[in-house]
Copies of this chain bind each other. A is one copy, B any other.
Amino acid sequence: MARPVTLFTGQWADLPLEELAAKVSKWGFDGLELATWGDHFEVRRALTEPGYIQSRWDILNRYNLKCYALGAHLVGQAICDPIDARHKGVVPDYVWDDGEPEGVRKRAAQEMMDTARAASKFGVTQVNGFTGSSIWHQLYSFPPNDFTELERGYEDFARRWNPIIDVFEQEGVKFGLEVHPTEIAYDFVTTRKALDAIGNRPGFGINFDPSHFIPQFLDPAAFIEEFANRIYHVHIKDSKRHLNGRTSILGSHLNFGDPRRGWDFVSPGHGDVDFESIIRSLNRIGYQGPLSIEWEDSGVDREWGAQDALAFVRRTDFTPSTVAFDAAFSR
């Protein structure tokens, strides 16, 4: 049986949930991964406003859509980050408040705990998101890093997130970090270190998204096998390298969509991600959850792209084998 295919609503937050649900349902999706911004899933209202949660389900049910996970990327980013002006744009006002960095970080952590509570109340057991990182900006070691100092970045992450994971575990909800540049974990090495920093607690796993591995030259399928027991949720997103000797893999401080960049996000199946290997690895580890399309492509119309992506996933997500090879190859 094929996996359900959902759409992550983060890039569609300009549309009211009802309008988006109508489109997505018509296109044939099985469900939505609701972003905790726009009007899609508002954490505070979910916890405080009677009937709010039912109102979300009413919309989903009206369009015959499932929901398996929430996406809480934006507020998560503020939990470990050095705070700057950019965070103001992505967190709720009551998290930003006066913008004092440590205060923002603490309120963001509180909001993430509340997100676990809201998810639980909503009946969803998976929350995906980001963690931020206190050391990301030391990516390139110049002036030379004090590498023993960098270890404290992982400790800072553990100190801030252990209480959050406590709440998740109490609520029966799991957090899935989208391994991604600017987060505490963005590749094999840092994911291992981050998981180790929190003692490999089961409440904290991975929202696997292969698009972030392409510009790093990482093998997404190998990642799945390496961290098999922490793959809690899967994003279907693609990216493409465009290296011609004059474009930098670092991106040149240019916005996505600029053709002078050395890589960019593209609609699934149009980039360098080998999705077939990913499906084979997901089959191998027994992942049964949704495949959630996170759609971003600066060169393609959003609605054309979402439908193209859905068709791509449907034909790529093949059923695993249930019999051993050559079992029948005998007299």
Cβ contact within 8 Å between A318 and B331: no
Q: In the assembled complex, which residues on chain B have CB atoms less than 8 Å from the CB atom of A268? A: none
User: 0/1 per residue, A197-223, Cβ < 8 Å to B?
Assistant: 000000000000000000111110010
Contacts of A327 in B (CB 8 A): 14
Q: Is the CB of A140 within 8 A of B330?
A: no
Is A37 in contact with chain B by the CB < 8 A criterion? yes
Answer yes or no: A299 CB below 8 A from chain B CBs.
Answer: yes
Interface segment, one of A26-34, A51-59, A245-253: A245-253
- Specify which chain B residues have a CB less than 8 angstroms from the CB of A11 in the assembled complex: 326, 328-329
Interface of A is mostly: loop
Query: What is the CB-to-nearest-CB distance from A24 to chain B, in angstroms, rounded to a whole number?
Result: 14
Beyond A37-B330, A253-B138, whether A186 also contacts B325 by CB under 8 A is no
A256-B326 in contact (CB<8A): yes
Asked if A287 is at the interface (CB within 8 A of a chain B CB), the reply is no
* A87 CB–B CB distance under 8 Å: yes
Decide yes or no: A329 and B256 within 8 Å by CB, A142-B182, A249-B216, A324-B298 being known contacts: no
Q: Are A301 and B325 in contact, CB atoms less than 8 angstroms apart?
A: no
Contact between B302 and A321, CB atoms less than 8 A apart = yes
In the assembly, what is the distance between CA of A81 and CA of B143, in Å?
A: 10
Interface locus among A61-69, A112-120, A157-165, A276-284 = A276-284
Q: Which residues of chain A from 275 to 323 have any CB-CB distance to chain B below 8 Å in the complex?
A: 276, 280-281, 283-284, 296-302, 304-305, 308, 318-323
Q: What are 20 residue pairs bridging A and B, where the CB atoms are less than 8 Å apart in the complex? A: A11-B326, A13-B330, A13-B331, A37-B331, A87-B143, A139-B251, A147-B255, A181-B250, A187-B248, A190-B252, A217-B243, A218-B246, A219-B244, A226-B246, A255-B325, A265-B325, A283-B299, A284-B299, A298-B324, A301-B322
Interface residues of A (CB under 8 A from B): 10-15, 37-38, 74, 77, 81, 85-87, 89-92, 130, 135-147, 149-150, 153, 180-182, 186-190, 215-219, 222, 225-226, 243-257, 259-260, 262, 265, 270, 276, 280-281, 283-284, 296-302, 304-305, 308, 318-331
